[in-house]
Structure 1
Amino acid sequence: MNQKIILFFIFFSTSFFAQNIKSIQLRPLQEDNYSAIMPLGTIFELSFDDLDADSKDYNYKIEHMTHDWQKSRLLSSQYIDGFDENAIIDVTNSFNTFQNYTHYAVQIPNKNSVITKSGNYLISVIDDYDEVVFSRKLVLYENATSVGVQVSRSRNTKNINTQQTVEFTINHPNLRINNPSQEINVVILKNENWNEKITNLQPTFFKQNQLQYTYTNKTNFWGGNEYLNFDSKFIRNKSLNVVKIEMKDIFHHYLYPYTYNENIKYKYNPDINGQFVIRTLNASIANTEADYAMMHFTLFADEPFAEKGVYVYGAFNNFEITEENRLFYNFENESYQGQILLKQGFYNYTFATVDENKNVDTNEINGSFFQTENEYNVIVYYKAFGGLYDRVVGIGTGYFNQNK
């Protein structure tokens, strides 16, 4: 797997209003569950804040996709019981906050929209001008197969200290697969970041009702490092990794600086794999009473990274590279500095470098280690010969255990 993840820059191209949308979440209604991969029929919620706070009208739209995220051949009536596009009517203004915002939320399935097929889905929010404000990926699966996943230290001697290997087995006693090379597609997804995935895999061994994928190198991922974190649950008082607070038009939180060390060694630090949780201890309803604070990031480095940009990277903005999460080098104090407006909560993040060819490297600053605890999801797509769409017939999840 290439160490550098190739992404493309997106600078406010979807909508004029996109820059004012914050705190987008697509999650099941389960505590401590941040996953957008869930069984078909699960109740999930899409929510976000509009910082214009002017109660715009937004619609949500549901589109069925192929295994490689192209629009599928299905008509909306074939995968939706009801309508594929509807108004978002759960709209609430923020209360007692310095930063005003309007909170939008919709739960699916609802009386207007019931998803009836498994597969990949693109959930989009549409504005008054029929422009897409943002989209999020959703995977709904059937339990038609069982998938066993094992994550271990890489056996490649060149990367034995920096990479992890994912092996898995698909058991399908109740699913007839005649030609796996044409009917089955699999995706290995690291920490539910669609920028870090491996595809185009064929089984290495065939058994009765079983497909085995036991590659030595082709399913290797860079281990990366544990995510950094901060907690802004107190808006007026310092909390985890917040070292200074200032009140201006809104609160400004200054985070504990991180120092770049090219000889960094692995140190265990529990994380939630880049995700974030909205929460506040200043009020009872976080959705509308949590405030926003300007979070200040500092990365000490003796000199700037030559011909590379440095960015704050995490699920808080869907692991995207934008101008908002870019840091700029300050020669006076030899550090990268930047600020991002974020809603109160617990956040994971890391630092990424981007070269002139827009290659994203999440390991250059924080290092890569085989010991890092990562979550890997194996998604199994099945499209029978003559079938119309890619079903998701199984999900397997594995975690690295350095004791193995």
Structure 2
Amino acid sequence: MSKKLLLLITLLFALQHHSQIIKTIQLRPLQENSFSAIVPLGTTLQLSFDDLEADSKEYQYKVEHMTHDWQKSRLLASQYIDGFQQNAIINMTNSFNTLQNYTHYSVEIPNINTVITKSGNYLLSVLDAYDEVIFTRRFVLYENAATIGVTVERSRNTKTLNSQQTIQFSINHPKITINNPNLEVNAVIIKNNNWNEIISNLQPTFFKPKQLAYTYTNKTNFWGGNEYLNFDSKIIRNKSLNIVKIERKNIFHHYIYPFEYNELINYSYNPDINGQFVIRTLEGRNNNTEADYVLMHFTLLADEPFKEAIYVYGAFNDFSISEENKMKYNPSKKTYTAKILLKQGFYNYTFASIEKNIPLNTNKINGSFFETENQYTVIAYYKPFGSLYDRVIGVGNTFFNQNE
């Protein structure tokens, strides 16, 4: 066996192991029910996660400045950080009175050792004692140097009139001189804080004094999707929202109310938190260390298997695709099922499908409707000629809610 192949196998094994023991990764502002890591420069973000081996490992965090398209920027660490780029995570607490033992880790950024001085895209990595990357998360720090006005409306394209939403926006920059907008400004639209659903590489459609307008009718269209499904496991021994059965084994098993596939599904308004989750338990005082882990059983009813692979999808694993959240089809029961270990709380989720050489699709199972409530965020990057990095000069947000 070649050294390269052996190294690849070792890395894949390590990644699989880490995904099994590292759970409930959150990078959020300290404000309650605030899920976005796109915040003003100087805002405190808290990173937290659990290690199910519960053996007090030595983890470190590392902060790296990135370009607008998430490549490493040309800045040295000393040019965007006062203090240390890499430092130990020293705040750790063992779980209390839980069937699943774990150690809860957390760190706030900025802190006394790491103060970020420049706006931009940032990659936050957590490393083990051997300096191997365990996981990464993105965050964005922005200046209020420009005002971003964002609107969202029903698609004007007759083919997607009932299934898509159109975003238009303007960048108002009264204090910034932009000589060549096509080269100096980059804008990105993000749907529901999910970096897998973005539109970038946009050029202004109109130029006005101190204002750039982006008024596309098709290029900035997103599929509306559907409202997320949800469940609540805040009570571990009794049924809560959308939990139909509970079993006690070495840990608790919760069975979620089955979802039945219907290709003729209609839109029905259901308030959601756009794929996010909130950790909480009613059986303890500290959600961080007294919320237990539950094996959640997901069920999708379908008369025939899909040609695509089906996954349970949501922010609980950073909107990623892995073997853990892949669903398996049982022909005799005509059901797709998946079992995912999740910490107690309120969760949004949906179903995603993937076919070879075709991008991930979140509309196959639940449909796509222009009425769906979604949050859209526009980030404006500015890099004048001769500059070393992309500043984030402004961020704009808007919600589309046909039901208000």
- TM-score w.r.t. the length of structure 1 is 0.96
Which residue of structure 2 lines up, in the alignment, with residue 7 of structure 1?
A: none
**Secondary structure at the residue paired with 1:380?**
strand
Which residue of structure 2 lines up, in the alignment, with residue 188 of structure 1?
A: 189
**Equivalence map 1:381-396=2 (5 Å):** 381-396=381-396
Tell me which amino acid in the other structure corresponds to 2:197: E
Which residue of structure 2 lines up, in the alignment, with residue 121 of structure 1?
A: 122
Tell me which amino acid in the other structure corresponds to 1:327: M
**Equivalence map 1:3-402=2 (5 Å):** 14=15, 16-306=17-307, 308-357=308-357, 359-402=359-402
8 A Cα contact 1:52 1:101, kept in partner: yes
CA deviations 1:118-147 (Å, max 9, x no partner) are 000000100011110000000000000000
CA deviations 1:20-63 (Å, max 9, x no partner) are 10000000000110111000000110000000111110000000
Which residue of structure 2 lines up, in the alignment, with residue 6 of structure 1?
A: none
Give 1:12 deviation, angstroms.
6.1
**Separation in 2 of the partners of 1:394 and 1:183?**
14
Q: For CA contacts below 8 A with separation 6 or more, give which structure has more relative contact order.
A: 1
**Secondary structure at the residue paired with 2:255?**
strand
Give 1:11 deviation, angstroms.
6.3
8 A Cα contact 1:14 1:131, kept in partner: no
Tell me which amino acid in the other structure corresponds to 1:82: G
8 A Cα contact 1:151 1:401, kept in partner: no
8 A Cα contact 2:371 2:403, kept in partner: no
Summarize the Cα distance change of 1:21–1:229 in structure 2 as closer, same or farther, 3 Å threshold.
same
Give 1:333 deviation, angstroms.
1.1
**Secondary structure at the residue paired with 1:195?**
strand
CA deviations 1:320-357 (Å, max 9, x no partner) are 00000011001111010110000000000000111123
Tell me which amino acid in the other structure corresponds to 1:30: Q
8 A Cα contact 2:94 2:102, kept in partner: yes
**Separation in 2 of the partners of 1:125 and 1:147?**
33
8 A Cα contact 2:23 2:51, kept in partner: yes
8 A Cα contact 1:12 1:19, kept in partner: no
Summarize the Cα distance change of 1:43–1:12 in structure 2 as closer, same or farther, 3 Å threshold.
farther
Summarize the Cα distance change of 1:358–1:401 in structure 2 as closer, same or farther, 3 Å threshold.
closer
8 A Cα contact 1:150 1:168, kept in partner: yes
**Separation in 1 of the partners of 2:83 and 2:181?**
34
**Separation in 2 of the partners of 1:90 and 1:334?**
47
**Separation in 1 of the partners of 2:358 and 2:77?**
36
Summarize the Cα distance change of 1:101–1:396 in structure 2 as closer, same or farther, 3 Å threshold.
same
Give 1:18 deviation, angstroms.
3.4
CA deviations 1:68-115 (Å, max 9, x no partner) are 000000000000000000000001100000000000000111110001
Which residue of structure 1 lines up, in the alignment, with residue 6 of structure 2?
A: none
8 A Cα contact 1:311 1:352, kept in partner: yes
- TM-score w.r.t. the length of structure 2 is 0.96
**Separation in 1 of the partners of 2:17 and 2:116?**
30
CA deviations 1:166-216 (Å, max 9, x no partner) are 000110001111110011000000001111000010000011100000001
8 A Cα contact 2:374 2:401, kept in partner: no
Give 1:398 deviation, angstroms.
1.2
Tell me which amino acid in the other structure corresponds to 1:360: L
**Separation in 2 of the partners of 1:12 and 1:111?**
36
Which residue of structure 2 lines up, in the alignment, with residue 4 of structure 1?
A: none
Which residue of structure 1 lines up, in the alignment, with residue 3 of structure 2?
A: none
**Secondary structure at the residue paired with 1:363?**
coil
Summarize the Cα distance change of 1:18–1:302 in structure 2 as closer, same or farther, 3 Å threshold.
closer
Tell me which amino acid in the other structure corresponds to 1:333: K
CA RMSD of aligned residues (A): 1.3
Q: Percent identity?
A: 70
Which one is further off, 232-241 or 13-22? 13-22
8 A Cα contact 1:63 1:76, kept in partner: yes
**Secondary structure at the residue paired with 1:325?**
coil
Q: Which runs of 4+ in 1 moved over 2 A?
A: 10-19, 356-359, 401-404
**Secondary structure at the residue paired with 1:397?**
strand
8 A Cα contact 2:269 2:403, kept in partner: no
8 A Cα contact 1:153 1:402, kept in partner: no
Give 1:389 deviation, angstroms.
0.3
8 A Cα contact 1:225 1:372, kept in partner: yes
8 A Cα contact 1:380 1:392, kept in partner: yes
Give 1:360 deviation, angstroms.
1.1
**Separation in 1 of the partners of 2:263 and 2:379?**
35
**Secondary structure at the residue paired with 2:115?**
strand
**Secondary structure at the residue paired with 2:303?**
coil
Aligned residues: 394
